[in-house]
Amino acid sequence: MAISKKTVRDVELTGKRVIMRVDFNVPMKEGVVQDDTRMVAALPTIRYILEQGARSLVLMSHLGEPKKDIKKAREKAEKDGRPFDEKKFSDGKHRMAPLAAHLGKLLGKKVAFAPDCLSENTAKMIAQLPPGGVLLLENTRFHNGEMSKDQAEREEMAKVLASYGDVYVNDAFGSAHRAHVSTQTVAQFLPAVAGFLMEKELEFLEDKIVKNPQKPFVAVIGGAKVSSKIAVLESLLAKVDALIIGGGMTYTFLKAKGVGVGKSLVEEEMVETAASIIKKADTAGVRFHLPIDHVVTQEFSADTPSKVTDGASIDDGWLGMDIGPKSIALFRSLLAGAKTVFWNGPMGVFEFAEFAAGTTAIAETLAGLTGAITVIGGGDSVSAVKKANLADKMSHISTGGGASLELVEGKELPGIKALMDR
């Protein structure tokens, strides 16, 4: 099924100046790109625009959150009694110049860099680009307007950015849930379409998960907190045939059922909500599955001794760190006949090798399913799948954690709403 929004295929690009929002919010260390996955993901759209004979292509992205990151780093340095060099820190973490150089290598052509988003010099650099020239703007979040709550301030910045193009392309799904200038407001001033990455996210999340999932549909939801997943759980109850719960949120649900959880992580204020979700699942005829055994320890540590519980209950003084072997077997059997699977959140503390078995087992199970659509909904699940070297075995791995969840919750994302309808 075609997505509801127009894409780069639906507009004339020959001879046009294109301004494109990409998600180049990649991990940086002292000015060096540590992981270019997001940059590589944008290449198909970039190449397509250039192949269509665009006059110029201006790329924009945020990189980190400068004010928040600097504040945090300064506080840590003060706590450790170390001097803090704000300029050195920000140059290494927030400046986009190294990304222009890196993108040039990936594209095999020069990518110009504008050391500012909004100056007259930037406009001049764009006008002087050779036919088919590519330019990357400096970090959009260096400007107050980008994240401003003041509409007039946002529009003022948007008009300048819009002056750099004849067509606006948004390929930054990971930021589509943000109502920022570069993701939303610019689209008010130019024909606005989705890039291929955005198109693929909508095809899988909006169409194959939210609107038209093939049945049986099983969702696997993990992670630490029920509070961060309430909306997505309630939304999924209306769509899935079975819901599998793992990770730290397990213990809040178990407590809601009156099962002993020892000293495991529990959100006390969410126990009633958890009980209500269990009840709603029952009313909706959704099979709701919690782990039936656990790997437990007496302290939260990577190398602490562990044991496996006999059943779902955890003794006093012990805390759950992963799902146990019986739970792995149960969850594997529940997933075996699925035609659609949505997975968000690990089954345990997978950062510690000792407690990664449950999460790895889910990844391996999904990789082995035949004829099923498997969608990994961003965040830690993506890290887990990559860690297990199974990324190429999944139907789709979302590039946006928060954006993926909000779309599955049924929310209208500002960056998507702003694009032209078909």
User: Mean pLDDT in each 10-residue stretch from start to end of the chain (422 residues)?
Assistant: 85 98 89 87 97 98 89 88 86 90 96 95 97 97 94 96 98 92 96 96 91 96 89 94 96 97 95 96 97 97 95 97 98 96 95 94 96 89 88 90 87 92 88
Neighbour-count burial of 344, counting CB atoms closer than 10 A to its CB (0-12 exposed, 13-18 middle, 19+ buried): buried
Residues in CB range of 183: below 8 A, 6 or more apart:
21, 170, 172, 175, 176, 414, 415, 418
Number of Cβ atoms within 10 Å of the Cβ of 263: 17
pLDDT given at position 29: 84
Number of Cβ atoms within 10 Å of the Cβ of 98: 18
pLDDT given at position 78: 86
| Both structure tokens of 387 | 């860690």
pLDDT given at position 37: 83
Q: What is the pTM of this model?
A: 0.86
- Interior/surface letters 300-318, b for 16+ CB within 10 angstroms, e for the rest: eeeeeebeebeebebeeeb
Q: How far apart are CA 398 and CA 378, in angstroms?
A: 5
pLDDT given at position 42: 95
pLDDT given at position 225: 87
pLDDT given at position 34: 86
pLDDT given at position 2: 63
Active site residue ranges: 38, 225, 379, 402
- ∠ Cα 141 179 188 (to 5°): 100
Number of Cβ atoms within 10 Å of the Cβ of 10: 12
Residue 33: φ, ψ to 5°: -65, 125
In angstroms, what is the C-alpha Rg of the chain?
23
Answer whether 246's CB lies under 8 Å from 292's CB: no
